[in-house]
Amino acid sequence: MRRYESGRTGNSRPATGSRLSLVAALLASLSVLPDAAAEPQVDTKGASECKARGFSTDTDPKGTNVRSAPRADAPLIGHLSPQALIGPNTYEGVEFEIVGSKDGWLLIQKPDPATGLKFDPAYAAAGRGWISGKLAGATLGSERLRGAPRLDAPIVARMSGENWGPDSVAVMAIHACQGRFVEVTGVPIGGKAVRGWSYAPCSNQLATCDHSGAAD
């Protein structure tokens, strides 16, 4: 009985069309692979933009976690040094620029001193990251605390008294920022905590803010 066999002989080659199909399939599979050379990005989607300053109030010896996005489960990308004891009952935290906010988180950069904010190598070039606003403070320069980030917004509290001014207010948290306004919870001397928007606070921890020529 004659046997009929299908298939190519050992020395046969795929047709040209088959080879082109294989190459196309390979290129298509490579196109969906992640770009290993791409630098990781800090998530700023939906964040406000601002130009403000603040400082760390975290006393945890491990420092403050810096994350790639404004949420507690975002990847950890660095650390901000904790407050340091510089004298009897006197602490000083790392100062920084606040350039954005979202959901109670602050986007910070440019620490002072420069060694106070350290990033993982992959994020060093970006030079910024997110911290919880509960671990940040500022020195108020305006006695007016407003209900919105506008100079014509209603005043919700006056941060001054007979023998004290806004720089004596203990800022417990920074909630948000918009332009040069920062939303804080502050405790005035002898008073209760109050929340509102302060114009152009500074990061001076041992001196008052210089508001010469300020509009507010």
Is the domain of 82 the same as that of 146?
no
Q: Which of 120, 137, 154 is the last residue of a domain?
A: 137
Question: Is residue 23 situated within a structural domain?
Answer: no
Q: What does the pLDDT read at residue 98?
A: 98
Is the pLDDT score of 63 beyond 70? yes
Is the domain of 70 the same as that of 133?
yes
Q: Give the E-state strand segments of 133-189 in sequence order.
A: 136-137, 144-146, 155-158, 170-178, 181-187
Peptide bond into 70 cis (omega under 30): no
Please give the Cα distance from 65 to 151 (Å, whole number): 34
Question: Is residue 22 situated within a structural domain?
Answer: no
Q: What does the pLDDT read at residue 21?
A: 60
Confidence of residue 2 (pLDDT cuts 50, 70, 90): very low
Higher-pLDDT residue of 23, 167: 167
Q: What does the pLDDT read at residue 91?
A: 87
Is the domain of 127 the same as that of 55?
yes
Q: What does the pLDDT read at residue 86?
A: 86
Please give the Cα distance from 187 to 192 (Å, whole number): 6
Instruction: Name the token pair of 153.
Output: 């917004």
Is the domain of 146 the same as that of 116?
no
Q: Which of 137, 168, 184 is the last residue of a domain?
A: 137
Is the domain of 194 the same as that of 150?
yes
Please give the Cα distance from 57 to 146 (Å, whole number): 23
Is the pLDDT score of 184 beyond 80? yes
Lowest average pLDDT, out of 2-16, 80-94, 128-142, 156-170, goes to 2-16
CATH number for the domain spanning 96: value is: 2.30.30
Is the domain of 131 the same as that of 178?
no
Question: Is residue 17 situated within a structural domain?
Answer: no
Q: What does the pLDDT read at residue 143?
A: 94
Structural domain span for residue 87? 45-137
Is the domain of 79 the same as that of 147?
no
Is the domain of 49 the same as that of 125?
yes
Is the pLDDT score of 32 beyond 60? no
Q: Which of 115, 137, 159 is the last residue of a domain?
A: 137
Question: Is residue 156 situated within a structural domain?
Answer: yes
Question: Is residue 21 situated within a structural domain?
Answer: no
Question: Is residue 209 situated within a structural domain?
Answer: no
Is the pLDDT score of 20 beyond 60? no
